[in-house]
Chains A and B, each alone.
Chain A
């Protein structure tokens, strides 16, 4: 068992795709949202959209943390990174995210700021240990999948008294974002492909409210082609039988209760903010983490003055509509012209998990099937 190749078997993919056709009412229209950007990327990389029955439409959700960072927070990050004493560390995909006036961390680096890409927050802590005369700041982004890594790194910094390390915290929570999408009046989503990896931490119980309060089915799915198609089959079966339940297609990785040790670390290190602004979605109540007061010494927002300005999204950019599943990337007038992966205008074009970047990279420049 290698846990990858087995789930990419061509015959199995074809068999499940054939099964899907038996699960839809011909001529009906079913709209399913894949919440996670990792799913979006996998669907277009493997061409799974072309294997779905015509009746099934996939819309892309808000589960790409790079895509939902508002421009004002990027400007705050740049202002910290440009301080001469600072080494600013970040995951690579945040570097091209445009802030106000389309400036990015990558451009700040080109102008001389010491911006470094790290794979893990632990690598940022290592940089702090070996550069005691500098201030090392980690750009904390990501959902509850990534936040435990930041949490454990902060606890380690405190235990080892690494005082030249801090975190600029932009971690967000998935459930409030889903509730905001379900509450928006023009949402017509029939079911959700649940995010597989965030569920390793939060568990599958977090999605019960979608079934209870909104009567929509949720199937937590893995990221290989057979996983995604199987999860679509489970959703279609629930819809056909009139059920709205949380099911777990990704049992080899996800447990109902999540990861108790990771949840305990989140509980201890973070507090939920009253509200947090999401790019394209606006402020969402209780949807973001800040660093708890006990660890305030390691909070970059307490250590450095930041502009903290709110910046409107560019008018031409329809990232907000794309993130809510209201528009396809190619329906945006700047898609592939003023906004490309090399020079993105909107965040959905930045990360490889953004819907626009996936459409651009895999040639979905127009509506392929009517």
Chain B
């Protein structure tokens, strides 16, 4: 499973960084950065990543 962010929609509320801190973080500019952006997530992070996608308050995250 891969996870992507729509940067136009992301407003930086940061709930995903709480749900899956090893996948989502903010860079120094305060923009969302995704570890494993161009590759499939390791199996042990899939559940947390799904949860993060689920709690995004502006629906800016997608799985695929």
Do A and B pair up? The answer is no
Binding site for A on B (CB under 8 A): none
Binding site for B on A (CB under 8 A): none
